Structure 1
Amino acid sequence: MGIDVSPNKVVTFNATHNRLVNTNIEQIPMEHEITGCKISCIFQRRKSSSGDGNPLIYALKGKDGYSISRRELTKFLGSFYVLLEKILGQKSADIIVPMPSSHPIALIIARRIARRMNNQVLILNNLFQKKTIDEVSSELEDLLQNSLLSKKECRSIEQLIARLGKVKGKMFSMKNVDIKSRAYINPLKLSLHSPEISMTLLRIIVVDDLVASGSTLSAAVNLLRELYPNAHIEGICLFSKL
C-alpha cells in the first residue's frame, strides 16, 4: 500500500505496491531512538529510484506543487488508525505535545491520540515555539567563541550563518539547513506560558509529522526534560526516517 505521483505532482493511493510510503497494516510500526527517547512511526518512508516518500507529506501540506484530493486522502485512514492502535496499545499519557508547525498535521494526530485515550489527557499545543533566524544566528555566533571547536567546525558554522543571512522570512526552519549542520542548532524554545505540573511521574507523548535528521525532536525532548525532569517521554510521528 504505497503512493503514485503523477507528472503534475498529484499524489494517489495505490494498494498494489509499497513504493515511496509503506502503509501496510501487517507491518510492525518502525521505531527510532532519539536522545534516549523511543519514537514510533505510523507510516514508513521508502527510498526508490523516483523519490523517497516526501511527496505525500508535501501534498498534505500543499507544498512544492504537490496535491492530494480529499477522496484519495480518505484511502489512507484505515491503515492510519490500525497502525496508530498498534503503537498505542496499552499506552497512556498525561500530556500530548504537538510540535510547532505552520501546518496542523501534528495537532490533528495529537487530537486523534487524545480521543483514543477518552480525552483524559492534556494537549499542550503551544508549549514550544520556533526560534527566529536572528536568534539561531546569534546562538551560532556565540558558539564560534567556543575554543573547543576545530577550524573545520568553525568554517562550517560561519558558512551556515552566511546561508541563514540569505534566507527570506523571519522564522527559522530546519529545511534551510543541511543535515550535517543541524547538530549545531537548537531550533526550539519554550513558550512563556509553560505550565507547572506537579506529578511524581509524568507521561508525555511528543507528536510530529516527520522524522528527518531527528534534530528538532531531540531539541524538544531535551527541553521537556528540563521542564519536567521526572517525566517519561515517548514520541509518535506520522512518517519514519528513510
Structure 2
Amino acid sequence: MGIDVNNRIVTYSDIHEKIVITSVNKNPKISRIGKQNKLFVYSIFTRVRSNEIRGDGNPLIYALKGLKGYSISKREVVKFRPNFDEIITKVINKFNKKHDIILVLPSSSKVPAMFARRVGRALSCDVSYDSFKKNTIYEVLDLFNNNNVKSGHEDEVRGVLYNLNNSNGNLIFSMKDIPNNIRCYFNPFSLKNESLKNKNILLIDDILSTGTSLITANNLIVSQNNQTDALCLLSDLN
C-alpha cells in the first residue's frame, strides 16, 4: 500500500507500494543513527525511492504541511489511520521500557505536534511541545566547532559560515539551505527545559532525513543522564 500523486494531489493507494510503504506487515522501519550516542529511530511508514520524485523530500509530508503546492484531503488522510494505529501498536510492543515523556522537535508546521498527540494517547504519556528552542544564527555560530570538520568538507563548511556571518544574526537559523552532507556540524536548536533528568524520553519528528535534528536532540538529552528512543512518521529513504 502506497500513495499516488496526480497534479500534486496526494491520495492513498491499496494496490501498490510506490513512494511510501504504508502496509502493516512491512512497518515500522527501524534505523540506528548517531556516532557517540546511538539512537534507535522507529518510523511508522517507509519512504522508497521513486523516479517520479527528486531529492530527499516526499509528497505525503509536503501535502500534510501544505508545501510546494501539494495537498491531501481529510478523506484521504483518514484512509491511513487503520494502518497507522496498528503500526503504533507494533512500535509500542518493541519498546523495552516505558517512556516518561514525549518531546516534540521544533518545527515550522503543526504536523509533528499532531503526530505526537496521537502517539501520546496511544502510550498514555505526557507530551512536551516546547522543550527545545530554535537557535539564532548567532547562537549557531557560537556553538560551531571547527575542529569537528572532516577532511573534504572544509570548503563547503567555509562557504556556509561565510553566508551565516553575513546574515542577520538575530534571525532563526534554518537547516533547509545547508547541504545534507555537512548538516552535522550545525546545531539548529538547544534544550530549553533544564528539569529533564534521569528520564526515559521519546523524541518525535515528522520525517527522518539526514537525522541531524534527532542526533542533536539526543545528544542534548543524553547529557542529562536520560535514555531515549525516537519515532518518526516517515522513514529515511529505503
TM bucket (normalised to shorter chain) is 0.7 to 0.9
Cα deviation 1:40-81 (Å, max 9, x = unaligned):
000000101101660110110111111111111111111111
Residue of structure 1 aligned with 2:133, choices 118, 129, 132: 129
Q: Which runs of 5+ in 2 are unaligned?
A: none
The structure-2 alpha-carbon separation of the partners of 1:203 and 1:241, relative to structure 1 and needing over 3 Å to count, comes to same
Q: Residue 161 of structure 2 corresponds to which residue in structure 1?
A: 161
How far did 1:163 drift?
Answer: 3.9
Deviation by residue 1:11-32 (Cα, 9 ceiling, x = unmatched): 1111111100000112141111
Task: Tell me the secondary structure at the aligned position of residue 240 of structure 1.
Answer: strand
Amino acid at match of 2:203: V
Q: Give the corresponding residue for 1:195.
A: 195
Q: Match for 2:115 among 102, 109, 116?
A: 109
Give the Cα–Cα distance (whole angstroms) in 2 for the partners of residues 70 and 43 of structure 1: 18
Q: Is the 8 A contact 2:132 2:190 kept in 1?
A: yes
Question: Aligned partners of 1:138, 1:127: CA distance in 2, in Å?
Answer: 21
CA change 1:90–1:18 in 2 (3 A) is closer
Letter of the 2:104 partner, please give it: P
Distance in 2, matches of 1:150 and 1:43, equals 33
User: Letter of the aligned partner of 2:83 in structure 1?
Assistant: S
Unaligned runs of 5+ in 1: none
SS state at 2:223 partner: helix
Give the CA deviation at 1:166.
6.2
Instruction: Tell me, in whole angstroms, the C-alpha distance in 2 between the residues paired with 1:166 and 1:239.
Output: 32
Runs of 4+ in 1 over 6 A off after TM superposition: none
Q: Does 1:226 align with 2:228?
A: no
Identity %: 34
Give the deviation of 1:182 after TM superposition: 0.7
Contact 2:153 2:182 in 1 (8 A): no
Count of matched residue pairs? 229
Q: How does 1:174-185 map to 2 (within 5 A)?
A: 174-185=175-186
Q: Structure 1 residues 180 and 11, CA, compared in 2 at 3 Å: closer, same or farther?
A: same
What letter corresponds to residue 83 of structure 1 in structure 2? I
Aligned Cα root-mean-square deviation (Å): 2.4
- Give the counterpart letter for 1:43 in structure 2: F
1:77 aligns to 2:81 (yes or no): yes
Aligned to 2:11: 12
**One-letter code aligned to 2:22:** T
1:226 partner amino acid: S
Given the superposition, is the C-alpha separation of residues 186 and 16 from structure 1 closer, same or farther in structure 2, using an over 3 Å criterion?
same
Q: Is the 8 A contact 1:46 1:53 kept in 2?
A: no
Q: Which moved more, 1:55-64 or 1:82-91?
A: 82-91
Residue number in structure 2 paired with 1:236: 231
Number of the residue aligned with 1:59: 63
SS at match of 1:26: helix
The TM-score, its normalising length taken from structure 1, stands at 0.86
**Alignment correspondent of 1:27:** 26
Cα displacement (A) at 1:240: 0.4
Residues in 2 aligned to 1:58 and 1:241: alpha-carbon distance in whole angstroms: 15
SS of residue matched to 2:236 = coil
How many angstroms does 1:126 deviate by?
A: 0.7
1:46 and 1:150, CA in 2 relative to 1: closer, same or farther beyond 3 A? closer
For 2:151 and 2:77, how far apart are their aligned partners in 1? Answer: 49
Q: What letter matches 1:45 in structure 2?
A: R
Counterpart of 1:3 in structure 2 is 3
Shift of 1:34: 1.7
**How far apart, in 2, do the equivalents of 1:150 and 1:97 lie?**
31
What is the TM-score with the length of structure 2 in the denominator? Answer: 0.87
